Chain A
Amino acid sequence: MHEWALAEAIIYTVTEIAEREKFKEVTRVDVKVGELQQVDLETIKFALTQLRRGKLEKTEFRIEPIKAKLKCRICEHVWNFDKNKLEEEVAEAIHFVPEVAHSFIKCPSCGAQDFEFVEGRRMYIESVSGVK
């Protein structure tokens, strides 16, 4: 599962932040996950509890999805990403490398493939709290 690779990335990054902030213990981590990547949130949560150690032993991980919004650079139309409109193979490719959406998705209004991801493309760590 490639969710494990992403969970591992979160653990490494939070560990580094905890060192930098001199936290004795990390209490809570807020992660936002863009829906474009169709990451399975339960799998990420499970992977996080399996991979954590040290200062992250008791951390509460809050993971929230963000709707993926696309905007056409040609006609400025904005629309929501809908996985269900895609073939399974295409959805899988976008799951691994979301930018390949540019090979498969067209602006529903004008047909252009020159669009940007306004929201919901990536995963990011919104906040890390802990006790010093």
Chain B
Amino acid sequence: MQDPRIKVIEHRLSKVNNIIAVSSGKGGVGKSVIASLLALLLAKKGYRVGLMDLDFTSPSTHLILGAKGLFPQEKEGIVPPTFENIKFMSIVYFSKDKALSLRGQDFSDSFIEILAITKWDKLDYLILDMPPGINDATLDVIRYIKKVKFIIVTTSSILSLSTAKKLIDALNILNIEIIGVIENMKSEQTHTIMEKLDGAKTKFLGEIPFDPKLERCFGKPQMILTTKVSRELEKIVDKILT
């Protein structure tokens, strides 16, 4: 009784050079903002980029980007629509932005289904916006996407950092590559996160300030690229690319 969808996933992702999951452990730390901006910045630099929203219960990247009225094309599978030079995939195409609560197996099944039918073709980067928590989505990404690497987002709060560290430990045990940690929504001039991370053997990528103007740029991708958040993230991107 074999599920034929599993085997096809590696073929679907075979021409994708880098797959980066933006994850955190704690909720509300800015994963979706960073994943969306990361996709925009990489596309602006001329890379072939895909963005996949894996937060099926509360997808938000379509709201951040302002990606409206899109639907994938059906062509021996489904081809994600392109928005701002990003191949963009989200459950909202199918759930029509209605509430969608999925228990474990149902999450996995929809995740596998989407991976099995989506034709990304050639990409330099596929960015995954992860839901909060170290549960179904994280485990499935690790299980079905062998070449995934993680970027971990935390705020300056020790509550956020303590879960981030657990995620780092879990990934280290599984030998999954961690690109590094980003400290987001920073409001005070301290280096606590960088110092506290010291023991975790994970690279500190940089910090992004709290920017009260960010919210009003949502839905306008070109405006988001002019924010402080974008400028700081771009420095981090340049560091990752070298």
CA distance A112 to B3 in the complex (A): 29
Most B C-beta atoms less than 10 A away, residue of A2, A4, A12:
A2
A9 located at the interface, meaning its Cβ lies under 8 Å from any Cβ of chain B in the complex: yes
Interface mask (A2-20 → B, CB under 8 Å = 1, otherwise 0): 1011101110111011000
CA distance A123 to B1 in the complex (A): 10
Interface segment, A52-60, A77-85, A93-101?
A: A93-101
CB atoms of B74 and A2 under 8 A apart = yes
B residues in contact with A96, CB < 8 Å: 78, 93-94, 113, 117
A residues in contact with B91, CB < 8 Å: 97, 100
CB atoms of A5 and B7 under 8 A apart = no
Most B C-beta atoms less than 10 A away, residue of A14, A102, A116, A117:
A102
Interface segment, B98-106, B124-132, B195-203?
A: B98-106
CB atoms of A103 and B7 under 8 A apart = no
B216 located at the interface, meaning its Cβ lies under 8 Å from any Cβ of chain A in the complex: no
CA distance A9 to B11 in the complex (A): 9
B95 located at the interface, meaning its Cβ lies under 8 Å from any Cβ of chain A in the complex: yes
B residues in contact with A1, CB < 8 Å: 74-76
CA distance A93 to B4 in the complex (A): 21
B114 located at the interface, meaning its Cβ lies under 8 Å from any Cβ of chain A in the complex: yes
Interface mask (B60-85 → A, CB under 8 Å = 1, otherwise 0): 00000000000000111110000000
Q: A-side binding surface: helix, strand, loop or mixed?
A: helix
B110 located at the interface, meaning its Cβ lies under 8 Å from any Cβ of chain A in the complex: yes
Closest to B12 in A: A5
CA distance A96 to B116 in the complex (A): 11
A residues in contact with B1, CB < 8 Å: 124-126
CB atoms of A16 and B7 under 8 A apart = yes
CA distance A13 to B117 in the complex (A): 15
B residues in contact with A121, CB < 8 Å: 109
CA distance A24 to B7 in the complex (A): 21
Chain A min CB distance to B116 (Å): 6
**Quick one: given A9-B5, A12-B4, A13-B2, are A102 and B100 in contact (CB under 8 Å)?**
yes
**Quick one: given A4-B76, A4-B77, A12-B11, are A99 and B117 in contact (CB under 8 Å)?**
no
CB atoms of A100 and B100 under 8 A apart = yes
**Quick one: given A114-B101, A123-B4, are A97 and B113 in contact (CB under 8 Å)?**
yes
A62 located at the interface, meaning its Cβ lies under 8 Å from any Cβ of chain B in the complex: no
CB atoms of A8 and B8 under 8 A apart = yes
B96 located at the interface, meaning its Cβ lies under 8 Å from any Cβ of chain A in the complex: yes
A residues in contact with B119, CB < 8 Å: 5
Chain B min CB distance to A4 (Å): 4
Partner of A103, one of B8, B96, B107, B109: B96
B residues in contact with A9, CB < 8 Å: 4-5, 7-8, 116
Most A C-beta atoms less than 10 A away, residue of B100, B101, B116, B119:
B100
What are 22 A-B pairs with beta-carbon distances under 8 A? Answer: A1-B75, A5-B76, A9-B5, A9-B8, A9-B116, A12-B11, A13-B4, A16-B7, A31-B4, A89-B96, A93-B96, A96-B78, A97-B91, A97-B114, A102-B101, A102-B106, A103-B98, A114-B101, A122-B5, A124-B1, A124-B4, A125-B2
Tell me the A residues contacting B by CB distance below 8 Å.
1-2, 4-6, 8-10, 12-14, 16-17, 31, 89, 93-94, 96-100, 102-104, 113-114, 116-117, 121-126
